[in-house]
Chain A
Amino acid sequence: MRLTLSSAAAPDASFDDLLAACTRRGFAAVELEAGHAHGVSPSVGLEAASAAAERAARAGIGIAALRLDDVASVTDPRTPRLAAALGAPVVVRIDGDVASTVRAAAPLFAEAGATLLLACSGDVDEIGRLRGWIEAAPTGALGLAWDVTPGDSQIRVPAAVLEAAAGHIRHIRLHGGGPETMGQEGLGVGRLMSALALSGYTGTLALAPSDPRFRYAWGAWLGRRGGWGCGSKTGSDTVVIESRVEER
């Protein structure tokens, strides 16, 4: 299981700052949410994406996932190609009626050799429904992600969630941990971690703030001083992720 830092914990941190924060706090990987200051998003070219993946690898940090908030972007062929260049799955929240969108996306991801993870809150009925989509799609094209909040109803029954998911969960986002750990007593975190261990879960577990008001605490915990790179010049060996629209 790879403990992962979500860019949601430091949305204004550069890609390099995120990698440094991961190293400082012993994270094995980073979850990149599109729109944050790391600059990785579907509008970034494949070369820049590969360069980012390479830079992360040199730092010994994996890229756990690229998280997108617009589910419609999964049917844009650039998205799975970006995922393949990053060496990471795309994660999108599944809310509302998106069956046809996901059905259209699956062959695109299969063709690109990438994976789309469907994120839900762990409701076992919903997982059953999503399992149907996953198992009907080309092998490896689709999978599951679980967004879990300490104290919610699903964290109380982690074994049931994992059993319903039948091994398809590859990524978990936990709202908490980090500087919030000590304040999350009695909310099911211990039982969740034990269930993950006993099930042999080998995916990623990303930590993200449970509330925007904790962002300052996360920044401090990650080693931010004043601002990320505040007052410091970017080094010449820093890769700048350029945002540009790629001609198709």
Chain B
Amino acid sequence: MNPGAHALDRQINDNEEGSVSENTTRELDVRVIPPREKHPTIFQTFLALAPGESFVLVNDHDPKPLRYQFEFQYPGQFGWEYLEQGPTVWRVRISRQGA
């Protein structure tokens, strides 16, 4: 995209690539989030993704209950991939799938 191109065109191109490139890792570190805000924040972040996008959840324990919650509330609409499984830090790539 040449620098002289109209700003709106640049923005359209950026959005086509995803306003955050998929090479950029979105990391949601929930270890500092208070208990009542934790799951709502995770689901809000998930719902802000476009299909095909993902974020990495970072936690101090295996987020199994969260996974069950995703399975019941968003069946078939999410991906769950462990990137790291302790002993101190867990990282899970949660992706948004489907329409």
Q: Does a CB–CB distance below 8 Å link A and B in the complex?
A: yes
Q: Which residues of A contact B (CB under 8 A)?
A: 1, 3, 23-26, 174, 176-178, 181-187, 189-191, 193-194, 196-202, 205, 207
Among A183, A184, A193, A200, contact of B29 (Cβ-Cβ < 8 Å): A193
Q: Let me know if A190 and B48 touch, CB within 8 A.
A: no
Q: B27 on the interface (CB 8 Å rule)?
A: yes
A217 to B29, CA, bound (A): 22
How many residue pairs between the two chains, A and B, have CB atoms under 8 Å in the bound complex? Answer: 83
| Tally of contact residues, B, Cβ under 8 A | 27
A25 to B60, CA, bound (A): 8
Most buried by B among A25, A197, A202: A197
In the complex formed, the residue of A with least CB distance to B53 is A198
Q: Which residues of B contact A (CB under 8 A)?
A: 20-21, 24-38, 40-41, 44-45, 48, 55, 58, 60, 88-89
A14 to B40, CA, bound (A): 38
What are 13 sample pairs from A and B whose C-beta atoms fall under 8 A apart?
A177-B32, A181-B32, A185-B35, A185-B37, A190-B34, A190-B37, A193-B30, A193-B41, A194-B45, A198-B20, A198-B26, A200-B20, A205-B32
In the complex formed, the residue of A with least CB distance to B48 is A198
Q: In the complex, what's the smallest C-beta–C-beta distance from A207 to chain B, in angstroms?
A: 7
Known: A26-B88, A190-B37. A197 touches B31 (CB 8 A): no
